[in-house]
Amino acid sequence: MNANARTTAGATAPTVLLLHRTPDGNAHVDWLVATGPTNDPESRSLASFRLPARLDVLIAGESMPAEALPAHRNRYLEFEGPLSGGRGDVQRIAAGEATTVTRTDDEWRLSIRWTGADVPQAVMLRRESEQWRVFAIGN
Protein backbone atom coordinates (compact mmCIF):
# COMPACT_ATOMS: atom_id res chain seq x y z
CA MET A 1 0.00 0.00 0.00
CA ASN A 2 1.13 3.51 -0.66
CA ALA A 3 0.38 4.91 2.77
CA ASN A 4 1.05 8.40 1.45
CA ALA A 5 -1.57 8.23 -1.30
CA ARG A 6 -4.10 11.02 -0.96
CA THR A 7 -7.83 10.53 -0.95
CA THR A 8 -9.96 13.65 -1.10
CA ALA A 9 -12.14 14.38 1.92
CA GLY A 10 -15.74 13.55 1.08
CA ALA A 11 -14.74 11.01 -1.57
CA THR A 12 -16.71 7.76 -1.40
CA ALA A 13 -15.10 4.53 -2.54
CA PRO A 14 -15.77 0.80 -2.40
CA THR A 15 -14.25 -1.20 0.44
CA VAL A 16 -14.18 -4.94 1.18
CA LEU A 17 -13.04 -7.34 3.87
CA LEU A 18 -11.58 -10.60 2.56
CA LEU A 19 -10.98 -13.65 4.72
CA HIS A 20 -7.57 -14.86 3.50
CA ARG A 21 -6.86 -18.49 4.36
CA THR A 22 -3.23 -19.46 3.84
CA PRO A 23 -1.93 -22.95 2.92
CA ASP A 24 -0.46 -23.43 6.42
CA GLY A 25 -3.97 -23.28 7.91
CA ASN A 26 -3.74 -19.73 9.25
CA ALA A 27 -6.13 -16.95 8.34
CA HIS A 28 -6.35 -13.18 8.56
CA VAL A 29 -8.57 -10.44 7.15
CA ASP A 30 -7.47 -8.25 4.24
CA TRP A 31 -9.13 -4.81 4.32
CA LEU A 32 -9.12 -3.10 0.92
CA VAL A 33 -10.22 0.49 0.22
CA ALA A 34 -10.20 2.06 -3.24
CA THR A 35 -8.05 5.19 -3.46
CA GLY A 36 -8.52 5.82 -7.17
CA PRO A 37 -10.62 4.77 -10.16
CA THR A 38 -11.66 1.11 -10.07
CA ASN A 39 -12.73 0.58 -13.70
CA ASP A 40 -9.49 -1.24 -14.66
CA PRO A 41 -9.43 -4.56 -12.76
CA GLU A 42 -5.64 -4.87 -13.10
CA SER A 43 -4.84 -1.38 -11.80
CA ARG A 44 -3.46 -1.31 -8.25
CA SER A 45 -5.55 1.37 -6.57
CA LEU A 46 -6.66 -0.50 -3.45
CA ALA A 47 -5.07 0.57 -0.17
CA SER A 48 -4.56 -2.73 1.66
CA PHE A 49 -4.16 -3.72 5.29
CA ARG A 50 -3.83 -7.10 7.01
CA LEU A 51 -6.04 -7.29 10.10
CA PRO A 52 -6.20 -10.01 12.76
CA ALA A 53 -10.03 -9.88 12.85
CA ARG A 54 -13.10 -8.40 11.14
CA LEU A 55 -13.24 -4.61 11.10
CA ASP A 56 -17.00 -4.42 10.56
CA VAL A 57 -17.75 -5.82 14.04
CA LEU A 58 -15.27 -3.61 15.91
CA ILE A 59 -17.19 -1.46 18.40
CA ALA A 60 -16.46 2.11 19.49
CA GLY A 61 -13.43 2.21 21.77
CA GLU A 62 -11.86 -0.98 20.39
CA SER A 63 -8.79 -1.11 18.16
CA MET A 64 -6.49 -3.61 16.48
CA PRO A 65 -3.18 -3.60 14.61
CA ALA A 66 -3.27 -3.05 10.85
CA GLU A 67 -0.29 -4.12 8.77
CA ALA A 68 0.08 -2.01 5.62
CA LEU A 69 0.38 -4.18 2.50
CA PRO A 70 1.29 -3.28 -1.08
CA ALA A 71 -1.59 -1.85 -3.10
CA HIS A 72 -3.87 -4.60 -4.41
CA ARG A 73 -5.45 -4.87 -7.85
CA ASN A 74 -9.01 -3.61 -8.25
CA ARG A 75 -10.17 -7.11 -9.19
CA TYR A 76 -10.10 -8.03 -5.48
CA LEU A 77 -13.18 -5.89 -4.89
CA GLU A 78 -15.15 -8.74 -6.52
CA PHE A 79 -12.78 -11.74 -6.53
CA GLU A 80 -13.30 -14.82 -4.36
CA GLY A 81 -11.48 -18.13 -4.67
CA PRO A 82 -7.99 -19.62 -4.91
CA LEU A 83 -5.02 -17.26 -5.22
CA SER A 84 -2.23 -17.81 -7.72
CA GLY A 85 1.15 -19.06 -6.57
CA GLY A 86 -0.24 -21.29 -3.83
CA ARG A 87 -1.02 -18.36 -1.53
CA GLY A 88 -4.31 -19.83 -0.30
CA ASP A 89 -7.77 -18.47 -1.02
CA VAL A 90 -9.95 -15.47 -0.23
CA GLN A 91 -13.62 -15.12 0.59
CA ARG A 92 -15.45 -11.78 0.76
CA ILE A 93 -16.96 -11.42 4.24
CA ALA A 94 -18.12 -7.79 4.06
CA ALA A 95 -18.41 -4.99 1.52
CA GLY A 96 -19.51 -1.40 1.62
CA GLU A 97 -18.78 2.22 0.81
CA ALA A 98 -16.09 4.19 2.64
CA THR A 99 -16.25 7.97 2.79
CA THR A 100 -13.03 9.77 3.66
CA VAL A 101 -13.58 12.33 6.41
CA THR A 102 -9.94 13.45 6.69
CA ARG A 103 -6.62 12.04 5.54
CA THR A 104 -3.00 12.91 6.25
CA ASP A 105 0.21 10.90 5.88
CA ASP A 106 -0.27 9.42 9.37
CA GLU A 107 -4.03 9.33 9.89
CA TRP A 108 -7.09 8.40 7.85
CA ARG A 109 -10.62 8.89 9.20
CA LEU A 110 -13.43 7.13 7.36
CA SER A 111 -17.14 6.61 7.66
CA ILE A 112 -17.97 3.13 6.36
CA ARG A 113 -21.46 2.03 5.42
CA TRP A 114 -21.23 -1.77 5.35
CA THR A 115 -23.84 -3.51 3.20
CA GLY A 116 -26.76 -4.48 5.43
CA ALA A 117 -25.70 -2.25 8.35
CA ASP A 118 -28.21 0.21 9.79
CA VAL A 119 -25.67 2.92 10.59
CA PRO A 120 -22.21 3.80 9.28
CA GLN A 121 -19.11 2.80 11.24
CA ALA A 122 -16.63 5.58 12.04
CA VAL A 123 -13.02 4.38 11.99
CA MET A 124 -9.61 5.98 12.30
CA LEU A 125 -6.48 4.41 10.88
CA ARG A 126 -3.37 5.84 12.54
CA ARG A 127 0.33 5.21 12.05
CA GLU A 128 2.09 4.58 15.35
CA SER A 129 5.85 4.47 14.68
CA GLU A 130 6.25 1.84 11.95
CA GLN A 131 2.91 0.12 12.59
CA TRP A 132 -0.64 1.15 11.74
CA ARG A 133 -3.60 0.70 14.10
CA VAL A 134 -7.31 0.92 13.29
CA PHE A 135 -9.76 2.30 15.87
CA ALA A 136 -13.55 2.17 15.93
CA ILE A 137 -14.46 5.70 17.04
CA GLY A 138 -18.23 5.58 16.88
CA ASN A 139 -21.19 5.39 14.56
pTM: 0.91
Collect all residues with Cβ–Cβ distance below 8 Å to 50 and sequence separation of at least 6.
20, 28, 29, 30, 31, 66, 67, 69
* DSSP letter, residue 76: G
Beta strand 121-128 pairing with 63-72: unpaired
Q: Given pLDDT bands bounded at 50, 70 and 90, which one contains residue 4?
A: very low
Binned at pLDDT 50, 70 and 90, residue 139 comes out as low
CB 123 within 8 A of CB 134: yes
Mean pLDDT across the stretch 29-54? 95
Q: Quick: pLDDT tens for 68-123.
A: 999 999 999 999 999 988 899 999 999 999 999 999 999 999 999 999 999 999 99
| C-alpha pair distances (Å), 103 with each of 37, 85, 100 | 18, 34, 7
Q: Which residue has the higher pLDDT, 8 or 104?
A: 104
22-39 pLDDT, tens digit per residue, is 999 999 999 999 998 999
